[in-house]
Amino acid sequence: MKAEYIEKIYAGWLAKIIGIRLGAPVEGWTYEKIKNIYGELEHYPVLYREFAADDDSNGPLFFLKALENTGNHYNLKARDVGVALLNYAPYEHGFFWWGGYGISTEHTAYLNLCSKIPAPRSGSVEQNGEAVAEQIGGQIFIDTWGLVTAGNPDLAARYAKEAASVTHGGNGVYGGIFIASCISYAFEEKNIKKIIEKGLSYIPKDCEYARVVNAVINYYEKNPHNWRDCFQYVFDNFGYDKYPGNCHIIPNTAVIILGLLYGEGDFSDTINITNMCGWDTDCNVGNAAAIMGVRNGLEGIGYEKWRKPVNDLLICSSVVGSMNIMDIPYGASYIAKLAYSIAGEDIPKPYKTIFEARIDSCHFEYAGSTHAVRVRAHTEDETEDRGLEYNLLNSTETAFTGNRSLKVMAKPAIPGDRIYVYKKAYYVPEDFHDSRYDPCFSPLVYPGQTLHGSAFLPEYGSECQVRLYAREKRSGNILTGEPVILQKGKWEEMYFTIPPMRGALIDEVGFQFGIRGCHGERMELVTFIDDLYVDGKADYVLDFSKEEEEKWNGLHREISQMTRLKGLMYLEEGSLHLSCPDFGEAYTGSHNWRDYQAEYRFIPLLGEHHGVNFRVQGAIRSYAVALMPHSKIALLKNNNGYVVLAENEFDWKLGEEYRILVSARGNYLSAVINDNVRLEFRDREKPYLEGGIGISVKNGSHCSYQEIFVH
């Protein structure tokens, strides 16, 4: 692994998100429609308030989790990716297109997996037929397999074959192999045609995928000047009318190759041409952009035009709510950390510290990165959100650690006002332009945790003071640490522990700056920030009487802080209700909590199975304590199906309130029910050592939950 690969991984992942965002507003449009409405579309068609979750970015990052969870030293198999799909995708909502069995390829494969049809049979032509198996998804979720095998296209092709075959077959798998190997090879090779030829070398020479790629190459070599003529050739010979299904892989592959060739190595030209061709634009532009992002590096991606509107933010819609608010540097760091582990090499500094100790921090070590930081100003009494001009610049001028920090410039800065430089820790529907792929969230930050951050005042900056802060969403209360008067030329490292709270929801954390000067004076704030992150133990009460229904649209409604796997979930009379005819589950908390206690207060209303979950790592990886049939209570482990670890007699009754206190410390698990019945178990078989909390019911049960204490 070359050290420069780290930044190229960030460039490739960032470019993928740029491509998705560029293509999403015209997804499914024809070339004629795009041309008639926009003429030449050379920019984002929509200036999104915030761009919500998209299937093209959900799959790549969460399927990669299979490498962590296999336990077989990165010898990836299709079954491992199948487990990741079941673990991170909500049941028939969010994540990707749930178009029905036999219509949506991913939906079909998902239900096959749920029915114990193993991968790769789950996505095969033999199981699902050619039309379903050869749709576009085989390549749109595959980019990260090329990024995580940087410069090793042989391994990229092998991983991609296993990953794509979970949901696809035939040309659907060949497409995954092709795209992943092209991305991996682009770390080393600049020549576009050689990159394409490398991708072709891993798939059968006589397959339809190879035929269309070679046909476009041949046309380009004879007619290299007008991409529109090439698109007409593609339309006439490889158009949607030539292939079955909703969104076949072959026509869209032709468009990707066209864009790569006629883009002539320019990032903007490549993605704009690919987008103008129409069809499955977000998918096609995302794939082309990922290849070009790696090939050209960050310097080849225009900042003002492409990067600034994205602001490093990525929203997802997995079943793990704390992973659905993500910044792009986190994703790149996660991929790069895995890449080094696969290669068996040590991570270079300063990334070693970042990847291993604070991977989700705002560290600004990637050139141009902003980590979704934003700025606003309020009057001293917090009654007015005052307009403010500001600019964020990733800088090598100074840094607290590493080589880079974020330079913040804001004006007018009026003494007495409070200028907030912050990162959002929770989002609500009003923050987004639309309800794309049904996101829902758990907070990134909790009461009891400690906020860290460092600030610097340059010699040319106006005198100011700063303190760390957290905002409680419902009350709007600003919780602050001790103020520090910044000394010019000196970094100040700060800490602030958020106090334990009941019924709170932390929705932003960051720095609160105040300019020092005469009242009414108009000045400028110029400062640098670095290493903003949160650690420590949560200490709070999740009080369901304080939670709210979040209304995205008529069909998409969520309960604040919760992500639902399956089941009917609603609020009534201060309680959260969950019921389901087969299995219903919902989760909250953070995926990276380790040792903790959680006490649940709930009332079983109907049925014979009422559970509370902990160390939740997804839909099929968690522990639970459940009231069971025949007057039993049991400690359970979900490993793609619940098994009993320990059980006891307990004469529970419907309509009565129960309290269950669970404790997780290392691999030792215990539970106390109503202060007198105890269960305990030491899990020595691949224990889950971190994860959030949740609730669960089975077989027609209905339960109401009042509160959860987390310590």
- The tens digit of pLDDT for each residue in 195-233 reads 999 999 999 999 999 999 999 999 999 999 999 999 999
Model pLDDT, residue 381: 66
Residue 407's SS3 state is strand
How do the domains of the chain map onto residue ranges?
Answer: 5-315, 374-536, 562-710
Token duo for residue 309: 């509107």
Question: Does 517 have pLDDT greater than 90?
Answer: no
Residue 347 DSSP one-character state: P
Q: Going by C-beta distance under 8 Å and a sequence separation of 6 or more, which residues neighbour residue 284?
A: 23, 252, 255, 256, 259, 274, 275, 277
What is the chain's length? 711
Bridge partners, 578 (sequence order): 569, 703
Residue 499 DSSP symbol = P
Torsion of CA 65, 66, 67, 69, to 10 degrees: 90
| Measured distance CA(583)–CA(319) in Å, rounded | 15
pLDDT at 636 over 90: yes
DSSP assignment letter at 533: E
- The identity of residue 394, as a single letter, is N
Q: What is the CATH number of domain 5-315?
A: 1.10.4080.10
According to DSSP, residue 123 is labeled G
Please determine, for residue 385, whether its predicted confidence score (pLDDT) is greater than 70: no
Domains 5-315 and 374-536 agree in fold = no
Residue closest to 123 by CA, chosen among 109, 143, 104:
109
The span from the CA of 539 to the CA of 541, in Å, is 7
- pLDDT at residue 383, rounded to an integer: 61
pLDDT attached to residue 378: 85
For residue 500, give the DSSP letter. P
CATH 3.30.420.10 fits 374-536, yes or no: no
- Whole-number Å distance between alpha carbons of 468 and 482: 8
Contact call for residues 45 and 25 (beta carbons, < 8 A): yes
Span 363-390, mean pLDDT? Answer: 86
In this prediction, residues 146-160 reach a mean pLDDT of 98
Q: What mean pLDDT do residues 353-373 have?
A: 97
Distance CA 414, CA 182 (A): 52
The encoded tokens of residue 688 equal 């889950």
Q: What pLDDT, in 10s, does the model give residues 304-330?
A: 999 999 999 999 999 999 999 999 999
For 263-274, b/e burial (b = at least 16 CB within 10 A) is beeebbbbbbbb
The answer to whether residue 69 scores a pLDDT higher than 90 is no
pLDDT value of position 666: 98
Asked if pLDDT for residue 493 goes beyond 90, the answer is yes
CA angle 365, 368, 373 (to 5 degrees): 85
pLDDT digits (tens, 9 = 90+) for 83-105: 999 999 999 999 999 999 999 99
pLDDT for the residue 38: 96
CA angle 440, 444, 446 (to 5 degrees): 120
Residue found by looking up tokens 């490993």 in the block = 639
**pTM for the model:** 0.96
Positive or negative: CA dihedral 168, 172, 173, 179 = negative
Q: Is 205 exposed, middle or buried (0-12, 13-18, 19+ CB in 10 A)?
A: exposed
Region of residue 222 (phi > 0: left; psi between -120 and 50: alpha; otherwise: beta) = alpha
Q: Confidence band (pLDDT; 50, 70, 90) for 599?
A: very high
Contacts of 457 (CB under 8 A, 6+ apart): 463, 464, 486, 487, 488, 489, 490, 526, 527, 528
Mean pLDDT of 357-373: 97
Residue 390 is encoded by which pair of tokens?
Answer: 């500001």
φ/ψ of residue 513, rounded to 5: -105, 150
pLDDT tens digits along 679-708:
999 999 999 999 999 999 999 999 999 999
Calculate the average pLDDT of the chain.
96
- CB neighbour class for 161 (10 Å; exposed up to 12, middle 13-18, buried from 19): buried
Asked if the model's pLDDT at residue 386 lies above 90, the reply is no
Ranges assigned E (strand) in 263-357:
313-315, 325-327
Confidence of residue 268 (pLDDT cuts 50, 70, 90): very high
DSSP helix/strand/coil, 352: helix
Q: Helix or strand or coil: residue 555? A: coil
Q: List the Cα angle 38/43/48 in 5-degree steps.
A: 100
Distance of CA 643 to the CA centre of its chain: 30
Q: DSSP letters of 622-688?
A: EEEEEEETTTEEEEEEEESSEEEEEEEE----TT--EEEEEEEETTEEEEEETTTEEEEEE--SS--
pLDDT at 405 exceeding the cut of 90: yes
Q: Report the distance separating Cα 245 and Cα 252, nearest Å.
A: 13
Domain 562-710 has CATH 2.60.40.10: no
